[in-house]
Amino acid sequence: MRSSSLIRALVVAMAAVFAAVACGGGGTQSAGSVKVMATWTGAEQASFMAVMKPFTDQTGITIAYEASRDQDALLTTRVASGNPPDLAAAPSPTLLTKFATQGKVKALNNVVDMTALSSEVS
């Protein structure tokens, strides 16, 4: 149960970020692509993409999804090379803390209601 709650919370957070991306730039919508990296494959990936479909239909922004079961290594390499994804559902708090101390992570608290998100995960 905890896993499905976490996935749901991450999807809510990503949807909020996608909404901010869609509304950014002077309030006009512009088609483009958002790069997302996560560990989800198979049915989990299909569920994530189904949840994101209304967003992509409404904004014209596509989701370039990249799945990796060795996400720590791939994310570390991509960040070091200056080619990180726009969003990553990273399962490792240690890795995220490392990136945050390096200034490689952007805060979402101005986009996502963190109190509401915390209550979703609890």
Whether pTM exceeds 0.85 = no
Average per-residue pLDDT in the chain? Answer: 78
The percentage of residues in the chain with a pLDDT greater than 90, rounded to a whole number, is: 31
Neighbours of 78 (CB within 10 A): 18
User: pLDDT digits over 9-62, tens only?
Assistant: 555 555 555 554 444 444 444 568 999 999 999 999 999 999 999 989 998 999
C-alpha to C-alpha distance for 84 and 78, rounded to whole angstroms: 5
The answer for residues whose C-beta is within 8 angstroms of residue 32's C-beta and 6 or more apart is 21, 61, 62
pLDDT of residue 115: 82
pLDDT of residue 65: 95
Count of alpha carbons within 13 angstroms of residue 25, beta-carbon side:
8
pLDDT of residue 27: 42
Q: Give the model's confidence band at 112: pLDDT under 50 very low, under 70 low, under 90 confident, else very high.
A: confident
Q: Give the model's confidence band at 121: pLDDT under 50 very low, under 70 low, under 90 confident, else very high.
A: low
Domain map of the chain by residue range?
2-121
Q: Which CATH class is domain 2-121?
A: alpha beta
pLDDT of residue 108: 76
